[in-house]
Amino acid sequence: SSDQYHDKKLKAENIIGNNLDELEEKKSLLQQCIEIAPDLAKQDGLSQILKVINDDLFNLYCVEAKMAEESKEWDKAIRFYEQAKKINSTKKIKGSSSTPFVKLIECKRKQQDDFTELGKQEYKAGNFIEAKQYFDKSKEIIITLNDNKKLLDRINKENNRCNKKLNFSKSNTPPGM
């Protein structure tokens, strides 16, 4: 109904939108307006406003992702690059020659490297269960990457080494333990 439309539009107009949460809420309200009354929305130029909001969101997601990346918070960086990619997968990030998609893959590879490294450290320390958990986390990421055969072979070898150690330690446990 047009009441619903005007109500949501007013709510959206009252949001300043200078942070992610506000921008996301504003975007959601405007999208609802467009669904409720496409003709009114067209008259009011809501899709142009939405385009500006999406541009702002894209830039903010990329800034947040870059900050997360710099502090090696891979999950967070990946999440923000995915959000930016949903808005525009081919647009270059401000001050960069990369797209969110390229950065997303880079972060996944770095996170996977970190997990593998941690797995190797645990293995050296004789913590085979922990090592295997890190290798499994690494493998989950590798599966999502293209051109991953070498990485998969490597991580499967690491996992097999852990399994041998774990089976060996099980078979050497005295009965009754």
Which pLDDT score is estimated for 66?
96
Region of residue 55 (phi > 0: left; psi between -120 and 50: alpha; otherwise: beta): alpha
**Could you tell me which of 158, 168, 151 has the C-alpha nearest to residue 133?**
158
3-state secondary structure of 174: coil
| pTM exceeding the 0.85 threshold for the entire prediction | no
| Residue closest to 151 by CA, chosen among 103, 112, 102, 107 | 112
| pLDDT, tens digit only, all 177 positions of the chain | 789 999 999 999 999 888 999 999 999 999 999 999 999 999 999 999 999 999 999 999 999 999 999 999 999 999 999 999 999 989 999 999 999 999 999 999 999 999 999 999 999 999 999 999 999 999 999 998 888 899 999 999 999 999 998 887 666 555 544
d(CA 26, CA 20): 10
In this structure, what token pair is assigned to residue 132? 């295997």
CA–CA–CA angle 155, 75, 52 (5° rounding): 135
Token representation of residue 128: 């085979």
The amino acid that residue 156 corresponds to is N
Distance CA 136, CA 115 (A): 9
Query: What pLDDT does 147 receive?
Result: 83
pLDDT score at 167: 86
